[in-house]
Amino acid sequence: MRLHRLAAALEEAVPRIPKPRLDLEQYTTPAELAVRLALYASRRRPRVAADLGAGTCRLAVATALLTGARVAAVEVDGRLAPLCLAAAERLGVSGLVDFIAARVSWGTGPLAPGSVDVVVTNPPFRGPQEGG
């Protein structure tokens, strides 16, 4: 599938985050950016990948499509699970994308160290915390 077609398919199949929460830095990744990030991740030839802060799973779905890897979509906001899994179903990768409702912070999380070959994630847009 050509990259622009994949971006168009993601834009159509993966919904925007309904009522995004600023405290969780929720925003919808532009489809073309999701495809480019997944393409970059595909160079690692992962068998298992993780999308941290997955939201509605644009990066997870794009990564599964471009790599064939199993993708753990980790998102603290569990209300987004049905949107993520429906998008994976619409694009034919439901057997590759698993939604995990969990918080991930430095050194902790639901994934064992070394259990994934590549991580995809959006960059945070908030500046560093004072004193932290």
Contact indicator for 38, 66 with CB cutoff of 8 Å: yes
Q: Tell me how crowded residue 102 is: count the other CB atoms within 10 A of its CB.
A: 15
Q: Say how far apart CA 82 and CA 106 lie, in whole Å.
A: 27
CA distances (Å), 28 to each of 44, 56, 63, in order?
25, 8, 16
Contact indicator for 111, 54 with CB cutoff of 8 Å: no
Mean pLDDT to the nearest integer, 97-106: 86
With a cut of 90, say whether residue 68 has pLDDT above it: yes
Which pLDDT score is estimated for 125? 57
Say what angle helices 58-67 and 31-42 make with each other, to 10 degrees.
40
Give tens-digit pLDDT for 22-49: 777 787 888 898 999 999 999 999 999 9
CA dihedral 15, 41, 4, 53 (to 10 degrees): 20
With a cut of 70, say whether residue 100 has pLDDT above it: yes
Which pLDDT score is estimated for 61? 96
HSE-CB for 47 with a 13 A CA cutoff: 2
| Domain architecture of the chain: domains with CATH | 3-15+27-106+115-121 (3.40.50.150)
How much is the pTM? 0.85
